[in-house]
Amino acid sequence: MRILLKLVIDCDPDAAWRALHSPRAVAELYGPLLDLEPMVPNGLPTSWSPGDDVPVQLSAFGGVPAGRQLIHVSEREVEEPHGTVRIFRDSGIPLTGPLSSLDVWDHQMAVSPAPGEPGRTLWRDRLVIGGPTAPTLWPVLWSAWQWRGARIRALAPTWAHDLDPDGDPVI
């Protein structure tokens, strides 16, 4: 089963790519509904890197345990007519909690220049889930992905490094 998002967001592709690699930025996408806490002594990395395997504890609504998840990072690039598409993939798996009944978890996020919109990014987000409870969990995850899409749109302008005096991104 799949959940898809396709958005044009207000930041350049480089800023979106940096945000995808930032555990802090990714955690903000789910806030305040869900928190990610590291389960390793050194905490979350400053930036995700290909090959990372990072276990996290998920907490919902400010502290209700929601399970543990292994985040496994990989990435690749694909050339398309409108430019390079950079794809960030989390192919980890839920370890405990309600989502652990899934036996497939493949989350890919792709960023590329938005066609005909200089300085903006086409963000594509795809979650593939499978397992006996996937049909039951799909509506819950679909709702969470709609929240996620709204958060991506709201936070994207803050991902730019350079801001003008009014706090708007310089593109």
Domains (range + CATH), the chain: 2-159 (3.30.530.20)
**85-113, pLDDT tens digit by residue?**
999 999 999 999 999 999 999 999 999 99
Token digits for 137? 């969990």
Q: Which residue has the tokens 């409870």?
A: 133
**127-154, pLDDT tens digit by residue?**
999 999 999 999 999 999 999 999 999 9
Nearest to 15 by CA among 167, 157, 164: 157
Supply the DSSP string of 76-87, one letter for each residue.
EEEEETTEEEEE
pTM of the model: 0.88
- Reply yes or no on whether the pLDDT at 161 is more than 50: yes
pLDDT of residue 168: 52
Indicate the burial class of 4 (C-beta count within 10 angstroms; 0-12, 13-18, 19 or more): exposed
Kindly give the residue spans of alpha helices, DSSP state H, lying in 21-166: 23-30, 134-155
